[in-house]
Structure 1
């Protein structure tokens, strides 16, 4: 086994922790969980939830600090393109072509007292 910096060892666990925090936050806002961590060849959907009849696909990003744009600016064009393709794959696979769809972004900043920024309709 090769050596990894301590902060990289539990990246997946850290990601899942903040996805759960985001899911709890969104549940308090009235959304209903459907699925978590949907993977296909195009990418991953962090959270899939419903708000009434609307299917909501949520990308979650965490940054410890707001420097360099923080979590709010971490949704790059490339990530948006992957998100579009992954959502299209999910919609086709689950026959949701005639449903109301929305892509949201939850940016979480700070560790001890995380701040949530929920941006709707990012695509």
Structure 2
């Protein structure tokens, strides 16, 4: 059985491959803003900067992966995104938050992509 950080890295790798297949350009991984938290991936979808939260679960024992993104987590992601934009003020004029939920085995994952999932 893999630990949660190993599973998280595996989910991030699956999501990155998926986004690249859609033409996204990855510009950051695990962007951290001190104690405020972390954004899993930062990418461009055309000219739009996308902050991506990735949730990976092997099964639904604890519910769907995307259900674990609470309002508190969304607020944390907004703060970290503000930090990214402060550090990179000319990164983009448009940005959004996407959620990628991954379930199942790494060999045959089910991927749900929620574009503009929250604000």
Q: TM-score, normalised by structure 1?
A: 0.86
From 107, 111, 119, give the equivalent of 1:116.
111
Q: Cα offset for 1:11?
A: 2.4
Q: Cα offset for 1:77?
A: 1.1
Structure 1 gaps of 5+ residues are 1-5
Superposed, 1:73-112 pairs within 5 Å as: 73-96=67-90, 99-111=93-105, 112=107
RMSD of the TM alignment (CA)?
1.7
Q: Which has the larger radius of gyration?
A: 1
Give per-residue Cα distances to partners, 1:52-92, cap 9 Å, x unaligned. 11100000001121244311312111110100100011111
Number of aligned positions between the proteins: 116
Q: Cα offset for 1:51?
A: 0.9
Closer/same/farther in 2, CA of residues 97 and 30 from structure 1, 3 Å limit? closer
